[in-house]
Structure 1
């Protein structure tokens, strides 16, 4: 059965309404959402060879344990993996191999074990490179099932919506809900990172924040969120950030969430045209 678009964030995780009581098995981890912008020689003044080291140092300084990224080309993904010494999951959207942009998820191997992984395309032909209806290009979702050193299990889904196709975005939401429900049969905690090309003025955001099964982590931060409210900017120091399109959604079985937007720069240069969004949710079993 098709899911109405206005409810697409509400039903993404389809998790039970859990009452969180008691103590947790371990401290929080650092989860980040970061669109790194693809490497292109036409981006004069903001080339990857100049931006990349600052992006890596930012991740290191903030001790990000899992990073959901988008737009990185294979060379960028490999650079990040090597410099961080983090494995990653994901394949390219154009070929399912190395050609094109990735929705790569990097993770700290000292804190997490990868138990399962996968990628699907946001189209009716979800098992192979393809695009949906009015989408401008192929769009993709990569996911992983992780286990902490304390034995706690959770999922991370990382997605990139289309810039132009309204119908494609609506259908992507329905497909994403169906796939998350299909993959997460155990109703484990879920984190959804992504670039959704839509802000909180959309009905889907308003609907989702009224329910207890899925939360925009910014609105449910234990303490006031740190940093600015918008996440996208055009590499222009003289312009204010334009949009808030990189939310992180978490299921209701997370606790003590702390949220921040990383409005960072290096000598008036930015590591990416998106600011990273970071949160610290507790992941664990109720004791």
Structure 2
């Protein structure tokens, strides 16, 4: 009997090793705490959206995820609202706390941050500046992580490409690949972000046809992606095109991919009625990956 039990236990352990470990990766443009476009007047202010976003992330159980547009106080708010998460990243305007971040959040009981850094998407990568034909400074933050349970090590890069500069997006894609090679070497790599272009763009193709990284959407056997990812806070128009992406090295196996179209009800005090609202002007993209 003891021998049989040992055989069963060995089989269970073997299956765990063979089938590997899984974790959830996501990318989410949070929408900056915008005071110039009347977000609060329209019922889309940060204070209103914060608890919804925090609950969405925790409910869908993101293990590690990239964010875009978050300002320093927004990231501090989000950290306070989600115990057990920390982030790495710096503001793009001064390399400290000013301007939008491309921060990476992760569960501290699941991952250890071994090293981290940031570079600007430009020919000058080590200080705040605008690259090529970009109209804004753009930054990529990265972290070297170790999965605490298994000791598995990987690199995570997260960025937000320019919304105007065509050359800037193409060159930023080349730079991201070069930096991944320089910093990660042969280690597994995840690259997420708001790329501001869909899968038909040449800057997207630079990455997806590189032979180094591949779009998780194309790798997933199960996808729930009937919508695009930029909704502009509009509920009556169908978003077309995926502009938020997650690319992976071939060290990972994608199990499923989804664009999360969660909504929530909010009381419009002026109209004295409840309205359906969106947590951000982008939908988050979530994937489940496996590694051995």
Q: One fold, TM greater than 0.5?
A: yes
Greater strand fraction, Structure 1 or Structure 2? 2
Secondary structure of the residue aligned to 2:162 is: coil
- Cα distance 1:31–1:181, how it changes in 2: closer, same or farther (>3 A)? same
TM-score, with normalisation over the residues of structure 2?
A: 0.85
RCO greater where, 1 or 2, for CA within 8 Å and sep 6 or more? 1
- Maintained 8 Å contact 1:212/1:252: no
- The alignment covers a number of residue pairs equal to 261
- Cα distance 1:237–1:96, how it changes in 2: closer, same or farther (>3 A)? same
Q: Distance in 2 between matches of 1:206 and 1:168?
A: 14
- Maintained 8 Å contact 2:117/2:143: yes
Partner of 2:136: 137
| Structure 1 residue 205 displacement after superposition | 4.2
Partner of 1:16: none
| Structure 1 residue 206 displacement after superposition | 5.2
| Structure 1 residue 212 displacement after superposition | 5.3
Secondary structure of the residue aligned to 1:281 is: strand
Partner of 1:38: 32
Q: Distance in 2 between matches of 1:27 and 1:138?
A: 37
For structure 2, the 5+ residue unaligned runs are: 1-15, 266-275
Q: CA RMSD in A?
A: 1.8
Partner of 1:14: none
Partner of 1:194: 193
Partner of 1:221: 220
Q: Distance in 2 between matches of 1:275 and 1:138?
A: 23
Per-residue Cα deviation, 1:38-67 (whole angstroms, up to 9, x for no partner): 002321210000011100000010110111
Q: Distance in 1 between matches of 2:50 and 2:251?
A: 35
| Structure 1 residue 208 displacement after superposition | 5.6
Structure with max Cα Rg? 2
Partner of 2:289: 281
Secondary structure of the residue aligned to 1:151 is: coil
Partner of 1:113: 112
Secondary structure of the residue aligned to 2:170 is: helix
Q: Distance in 2 between matches of 1:132 and 1:203?
A: 18
Partner of 1:272: 280
| Structure 1 residue 141 displacement after superposition | 0.1
Aligned runs of 1:22-101 on 2, under 5 Å? 23-24=17-18, 26-41=20-35, 42-43=38-39, 44=41, 45-85=43-83, 86-101=85-100
Partner of 1:230: 228
Aligned runs of 1:13-28 on 2, under 5 Å? 23-24=17-18, 26-28=20-22
Secondary structure of the residue aligned to 1:239 is: coil
Q: Distance in 1 between matches of 2:61 and 2:213?
A: 26
Please tell me whether residue 257 in structure 1 is matched to residue 273 in structure 2.
Answer: no
Please tell me whether residue 158 in structure 1 is matched to residue 166 in structure 2.
Answer: no
Q: Distance in 1 between matches of 2:135 and 2:176?
A: 18
Per-residue Cα deviation, 1:168-217 (whole angstroms, up to 9, x for no partner): 112212221221111012x1111110111111112454576567542211
TM-score, with normalisation over the residues of structure 1?
A: 0.86
Q: Distance in 1 between matches of 2:151 and 2:97?
A: 33
Per-residue Cα deviation, 1:133-153 (whole angstroms, up to 9, x for no partner): 211110000000100121000
For structure 1, the 5+ residue unaligned runs are: 1-21
| Structure 1 residue 229 displacement after superposition | 3.7
